[in-house]
Amino acid sequence: MASQGTGYDLSASTYSPDGRIFQIEYAQKAVENAGTVIGIKCKDGIVLAVEKLVNTKLLVKGTNRRILNIDRHAGFATAGLIADGYHLADRARQEAVNFRDTYKFPAPIGTLARRLSSYIHAFTLYSSVRPFGISTLLFGIDEIEGPQIYLIEPSGTYWGYKGAALGKARQLAKTEIEKLDLSELSLEDGVKEAAKIIYKVHDDAKDKDFELEMAWIGPQTKGGKGQVELVPQDKIDEAARLAKEAMDNEMED
């Protein structure tokens, strides 16, 4: 890519002769080097799971979260540069607050996705800025469309999905998600299946240790308020145990 992009990869506002913008492609490489993120739309809510790679054993558990709240009914997870993700989270919160102040009800998830993608796209138009080195899974439940997941790319393009994956093992994770009957999958079972996928795509030989970070939203979350919250640690531990047992059984077979 470097040889092909020489002279055309110095700015996000410069096209190559074959119509490529190399800075956006380089940003996508940052996403592909990150830990895997998956989102699953269940019959009664949404589950997100993140393979948060741990660079050192001295790191305090739970720091540098990859899943962040945007509003009571919405959250997102990022794969790529962590600092870019926190900046984008602040922007998304501003959009959610502005919508609520203007229209007096929570922003639809699709509206948040459109506004956030427009903001990301603006960073691909000028030579004085660089594209965000992250892809984002925006998720939540609104009164209009119900549970939704949107994937937003570094180019500013966004797509709605029933199940999506980001990061280094996204293709394998996507294949595993496609095997699930999402229309019949409960939120509790979605946590277990998501943990299985994360453990299955993690490569112990090549990758560092990781923390399993999970969040969900559904009618029973946040004490029955139907808001975004981190999955309780005891449920994560149980899901991780079942995932490890399933992998051991597969190896024995």
Q: Model confidence at 253, in pLDDT bands (50, 70, 90)?
A: low
Q: Model confidence at 8, in pLDDT bands (50, 70, 90)?
A: confident
Number of compact structural domains in the chain: 1
Residue located via tokens 């795509």: 201
pLDDT for 21-59, tens place per residue? 999 999 999 999 999 999 999 999 999 999 998 888 888
Residue 128 dihedral angles phi and psi, to the nearest 5°: -85, -5
pLDDT of residue 2: 47
pLDDT of residue 111: 96
Inter-residue contact 171 to 178 (CB < 8 Å):
no
Residue located via tokens 């997102």: 76
pLDDT of residue 208: 74
CA dihedral sign, ordered 81, 87, 91, 92: positive
Q: How many Å apart are CA 69 and CA 48, to the nearest integer?
A: 12
In this prediction, residues 74-102 reach a mean pLDDT of 96
Residue 77, SS3? strand
In a domain, residue 4? The reply is: no
In a domain, residue 10? The reply is: no
In a domain, residue 13? The reply is: no
Q: Which domain holds residue 83?
A: 22-252
Q: Within 10 Å of residue 46's Cβ, how many Cβ atoms?
A: 28
In a domain, residue 11? The reply is: no
DSSP state of 184: G
